[in-house]
Amino acid sequence: MKPEQTPSRLRAYLAEYGKLYPGLWKALDSFRPQRGKGLPMWRECCYVPIHGAFAYLTAGKQPDSITPQERAYAAQNAGIVTALGTWRVTQGIYRFHPELFPPVWETPLSGQLPAELLFQLPEWCVYVETPGTPFYGFFAHIDDDMNYNRAELRLVLDSGKLTPFVLHLDKPTLDESINAVKEHSIKMMREHALPRAGNPSTGEITNEASPLVSPLVSALLYICSAANDMREASGSLRQPKKPRPKKVKGGLKMFPPNKTIIWETGYRMGAALSRARESTGARESSPHGSPAPHIRRAHWHSFWTGPKNEPDKRLITVKWLPPIPVGVGDLGEVIPTIRIVK
């Protein structure tokens, strides 16, 4: 499917689920102003917790009055409509420069999962295009599961149909997060007698989930750390951000945009890399020449701090170094800011 078809497809999802659940978008928008004022104070980086959508889809029924089939169906759709309802507020589509997307996508994600960096998504929910992969793209947003005091990364894969997935961000690594989700899923199925096939809250969780999810997280990490290498496709100089509700009669109200917004991601770095490849012919590195322009993969870097003559006071610190261009000249502030992960 061509990139120009993305906006119409995503808005078709909004129309489809808005028709399926009349009043749903208005209900989700009404929850946000009540955060900490009648409703619990959930994390700022979460627009509306998925529990709000689940309650709406089950019409406020008590947990013991919901059948296993109703619970499974509501949980499946709650993951989808929370992402859609959150994305609807800004409608940002993140489109990587074609020269930059492959190396970012292929960045291995090992070591500590940098949850705090993921909390810095530029909008409450983003949609990231993934050209050349088995799906068109994916939605991503942070959820706050207050039952467990746990932040979660909620993903909805878009392959023409929408498939929800979740990662627990209270675990140190990606593999541990996936295993925790699997264990929690099995526990919920047993407690609520949910059907095992097509478990709604996690999608298909298998031992092969990590290679599938890792590229998605890598793309999100780049988006979170490269705000100065983003621009609106229309040419505007504004940056993506979370909007503020406006005062209206009776309270506050969100006013979603009337069209999607394309954010060109990594446009400067990608363009510089492309120009460098053209000028050098992408020559191979040799002992007598400069290395061919490329992007050094994102990786983790550990280093020691403190006085060397006092070993007991030295501490090890871990930094996540994002993809860095090599052999493309001075890019100034294009290189994403290095974040310290504690």
For residue range 134-189, list pLDDT tens digits in order: 999 999 999 999 889 999 999 999 999 999 999 999 998 888 998 888 888 788 77
Q: What does the alpha-carbon distance between residue 77 and residue 156 come to, in Å, rounded to a whole number?
A: 11
Q: How far is CA 197 from the centre of its chain?
A: 26
φ/ψ region of 156 (left if φ > 0, alpha if ψ in -120 to 50, else beta) reads beta
Question: Locate tokens 């005091």: which residue?
Answer: 149
Share of the chain above pLDDT 90, in %: 39
Q: What does the alpha-carbon distance between residue 192 and residue 206 come to, in Å, rounded to a whole number?
A: 21
One-character DSSP codes across 163-182 = EEEEEETTSSSHHHHHHHHH
Give 225 or 89, the one with higher predicted confidence. Answer: 89
Q: Give residue 65's pLDDT.
A: 74
R_g (Cα) of the chain, nearest Å = 22
Q: Give residue 280's pLDDT.
A: 55
Q: With bands split at pLDDT 50, 70 and 90, how would you rate the model's confidence at 318?
A: low
What integer is the mean pLDDT of 126-133?
96
One-character DSSP codes across 41-99 = ---TT-SS-HHHHHHHHTTT--GGGS-HHHHHHHHHHHHHHHHHHHHTTT-EEEEE-TT
DSSP 163: E
Q: How far is CA 240 from the centre of its chain?
A: 14
Tens digit of each residue's pLDDT (9 = 90 or more) over 52-67: 999 888 886 766 777 7
Helix (H) or strand (E) holding 306: none
Coil/strand/helix, residue 300 = strand
Q: With bands split at pLDDT 50, 70 and 90, how would you rate the model's confidence at 294?
A: low
Tens digit of each residue's pLDDT (9 = 90 or more) over 72-129: 778 889 999 999 999 999 999 999 999 889 888 888 777 778 888 899 999 999 999 9
Q: What does the alpha-carbon distance between residue 169 and residue 176 come to, in Å, rounded to a whole number?
A: 10
Q: What is the mean pLDDT of the chain?
A: 81
pTM of the model: 0.84
Q: Are 62 and 91 in contact, with CB atoms under 8 Å apart?
A: no
Coil/strand/helix, residue 273 = helix
> Token pair of 171, please?
């675990």
CA-closest candidate to residue 130, choices 108, 109, 155: 155
